[in-house]
Amino acid sequence: MAMSRNHCLLSRSVLAAVLAASGQSLAAGGAELGVRVSALHAATHSQGIGLIVRWPMSQGYFAMASLDRQHYERGDSALSMPPAELRSTVVGAAFGREQRSNSLLQSWFWSWGLSAGFPTTGRNESAIADSLFTTATEIHLTASLGVSTKLSDNWTLTGTARLERHFVEWRLTAADGSLLGRKEALTASGLSLAVNYKF
């Protein structure tokens, strides 16, 4: 009987802790939906626009999902790889934490993210006749640091500095199939600006 009572008390304690954690998460605010524009620089500049969804967790932590469409030119003169026009759909997820500043209108945050990019090639400026530039699915690792400013009860403006490591598979091949150039990784850095609505 005593053991059953202890189990009952333990179950109530666990339930109370879960409800308290849920209450803290709800108190932190609802989910946010945002539209962002981005500018990154690696070998050349790239621009993008996308959607982000952020879910608050307890103690300031949050999870985020993103969908971006990027347009850029990539090449590497050291590898005799000419600029090529690329468009990429990037799907990502991130985890981070937000900290309130002394001002009630501002907060800062950090996050780590993992994304997959699905590029398609366009213009190829190679001077080598019949050469072919190809790509494959890319993996992006991202570290971000940003500031969020409250515009109203539901709207915020967010500026973010981003550092990314891209694992890519760029290949330039000749008409006979011989490999002329190859790129496997690069580092990109830049900024993004987002307008978010909190539900």
Do 20 and 41 reside in the same domain of the chain? no
pLDDT tier at 18, thresholds 50, 70, 90: very low
Residue 145 burial (CB count, 10 A): 14
Residues 56, 25: one domain? no
Mean per-residue pLDDT, 153-172 = 93
Stated as kind and residue range, the H or E segment containing 9 is helix 2-27
93-118 pLDDT, tens digit each: 999 999 987 767 889 999 999 999 99
Q: How far is CA 69 from CA 63, 97, 175, in A?
A: 21, 25, 31
Q: Per-residue DSSP letters for 52-115? A: EEEEE-GGGEEEEEEEEEEEEEEEEGGGTEEEEEEEEEEEEEEEEEEEE-SSTTEEEEEEEEEE
- Domain with residue 49: its CATH number is 2.40.160.20
Do residues 18 and 43 share a domain?
Answer: no
More confident of the two residues 146 and 21 = 146
Asked whether residue 116 falls in the same domain as residue 164, the answer is yes
- The answer on 48 and 12 residing in a single domain is no
Q: Are residues 49 and 143 in the same domain?
A: yes
pLDDT of residue 77: 57
State the average pLDDT over residues 134-144: 94
How confident is the model over 165-198, as pLDDT tens digits?
A: 999 988 888 878 888 778 888 899 999 999 999 9
Q: Tell me what pLDDT residue 134 has.
A: 81
pTM above 0.85, yes or no: no
How many structural domains compose the chain?
A: 2
- According to DSSP, residue 42 is labeled S
Task: For residues 23 and 103, state if they share a domain.
Answer: no
Same domain, 1 and 96: no
- 158 plus 65 within the same structural domain: yes
117 with 187, same domain: the answer is yes
Judgement on whether residues 38 and 24 belong to the same structural domain of the protein: no
Q: How far apart are CA 87 and CA 137, in angstroms?
A: 12
Domain around 182: 31-198
Are 127 and 54 in the same domain?
yes
